[in-house]
């Protein structure tokens, strides 16, 4: 069996014929039309909403929230049709494309060209959201959690606010897409940090594939409503990152239908919890650092028995992925001390990256975690109180020595592509 790792993958030489294998069915997802046609069809039949053409009528300004360079949204197959419909409904409408960077760095022009194409990148008006620039953001309300909702002025002051995006499983928001275009997409850091607070991340409902009862999702929905997000075009992509299905219309109804559709392909259920669970972060570029690899580990966590050994194949050629993330685990006197400190942190004092090391700390307190990674990462991983192994077979040998020769092995080749249900 080959497990994703970097751009090459890793060979599993050990006999694992008795293992339980959990894989998503995304590979069976076959588009019924071209990427462009799927988007056009969805926009021609919006869910719970007038068409974008109708929404544009009588509006002076429109803002399309677009995803940034960190998301594989096939914008070249979405934006041309959104722009076309807006101008068909109102030829004089003033359109701004607002790049939803969330808490990330700004998108470069080169990245923008790669994402939307030369024509749109050079002819349309763009604004890159900056969550750290208080002057470019404005408070528009208070969320159910009590956090201030502070969003980009471009989004707050437009006559018509719409968004593109894609839907995939998300390890604490349940799913990406829909309401996430607003929060964290175009929110000020005070709102993003409040939403990702320790109390919310600690919720048992802040998990992959869960929306109902998820406190992060609830605040995100409220943010989208307060921001008056009126219309979305969200897509589901296949393994080659091509549009496989599209959902357009009301931001909440269209998103819910998209999530339900995707869940049918991603949902897996172990027959028996694993004493040993081996997974990956899907290979490059998603396994480039330890920070990102937390996502794949949460799939292993969901399929694991108490005290199980979790093994993740992640090259981590770009290091830890965040200095505060690395230092939190390196410098804590114990994992219990770190978790107590995190849980005592008020919403308005949330540290950047806190949610990532909180989730990793949660798993480390319950499980032995082994990273099969770049040899250059051994010392760093051990400083973070994680274990390094040079290859999958060595990691499995250690795990079976720990859990016994009859231990139940669960293999999840791609941890970020599944929703593991109990």
CA separation, residue 31 to residues 157, 239, 260 (Å):
38, 12, 17
Distance of CA 421 to the CA centre of its chain: 18
**77 is an active site residue:** no
Please report how many Cα atoms fall inside a 13 Å half-sphere around the Cα of residue 85, on the Cβ side. Answer: 26
Q: Is residue 283 a contact partner of residue 5, using CB atoms and an 8 Å limit?
A: yes
Distance of CA 370 to the CA centre of its chain: 23
CB atoms within 10 A of CB 349: 12
Q: Is residue 388 a contact partner of residue 381, using CB atoms and an 8 Å limit?
A: yes
**Rounded to the nearest 5°, which phi and psi values hold at 338?**
-65, -45
What is the distance between the alpha carbons of residues 238 and 266, in angstroms, rounded to a whole number? 11
First-residue to last-residue Cα distance in the chain? 25
Strand 160-166 and strand 229-237: pairing? parallel
Q: Is residue 191 a contact partner of residue 149, using CB atoms and an 8 Å limit?
A: yes
**170 is an active site residue:** yes
| Active-site residue (options: 77, 129, 170, 408) | 170
What is the distance between the alpha carbons of residues 16 and 396, in angstroms, rounded to a whole number? 10
Instruction: Cite the active site residues.
Output: 104, 170
């Amino acid at each position: 069996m080959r497990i994703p790792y970097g751009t090459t993958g890793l060979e599993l030489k050990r006999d694992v014929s008795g293992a339980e294998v959990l894989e998503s069915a995304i590979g069976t997802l076959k588009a019924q039309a071209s990427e462009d046609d799927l988007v056009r069809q969805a926009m021609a039949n919006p869910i719970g909403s007038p068409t974008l053409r109708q929404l544009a009528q009588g509006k002076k300004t429109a803002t399309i929230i677009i995803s940034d360079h960190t998301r594989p949204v096939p914008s070249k197959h979405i934006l041309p049709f959104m722009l076309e419909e807006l101008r068909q409904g109102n030829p004089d409408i003033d359109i701004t494309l607002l790049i939803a960077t969330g808490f990330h760095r700004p998108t470069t022009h080169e990245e923008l060209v790669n994402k939307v194409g030369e024509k749109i990148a050079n002819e349309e008006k763009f604004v890159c959201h900056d969550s750290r620039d208080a002057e470019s953001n404005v408070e528009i309300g208070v969320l159910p959690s009590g956090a201030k909702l502070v969003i980009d002025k471009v989004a707050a002051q437009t006559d018509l606010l719409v968004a593109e995006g894609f839907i995939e499983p998300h390890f604490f928001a349940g799913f990406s897409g829909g309401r996430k275009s607003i929060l964290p997409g175009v929110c000020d850091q005070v709102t993003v940090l409040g939403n990702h607070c320790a109390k919310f991340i600690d919720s048992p409902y802040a998990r992959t594939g869960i929306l109902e009862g998820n406190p992060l999702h609830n605040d995100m929905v409220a943010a989208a409503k307060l921001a008056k997000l009126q219309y979305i075009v969200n897509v589901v992509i296949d393994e080659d990152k091509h549009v496989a299905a599209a959902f357009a219309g009301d931001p909440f109804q269209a998103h819910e239908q998209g999530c339900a559709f995707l869940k049918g392909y991603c949902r897996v259920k172990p027959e028996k919890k694993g004493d040993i669970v081996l997974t990956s972060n899907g290979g490059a570029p998603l396994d480039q650092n330890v920070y990102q690899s937390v996502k794949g580990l949460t799939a292993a966590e969901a399929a694991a028995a108490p005290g199980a050994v979790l093994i993740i194949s992640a090259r981590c050629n770009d290091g830890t992925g965040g200095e505060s993330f690395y230092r939190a685990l390196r410098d804590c006197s114990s994992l219990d001390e770190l978790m107590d400190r995190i849980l005592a942190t008020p919403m308005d004092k949330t540290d950047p990256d806190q949610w990532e090391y909180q989730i990793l700390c949660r798993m480390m307190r319950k499980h032995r975690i082994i990273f099969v990674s770049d040899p250059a990462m051994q010392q760093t991983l051990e400083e973070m109180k994680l274990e390094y192994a040079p290859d999958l077979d060595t990691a499995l040998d250690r795990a079976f020595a720990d859990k016994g020769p009859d231990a139940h092995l669960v293999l999840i080749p791609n941890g970020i592509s599944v929703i593991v249900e109990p």
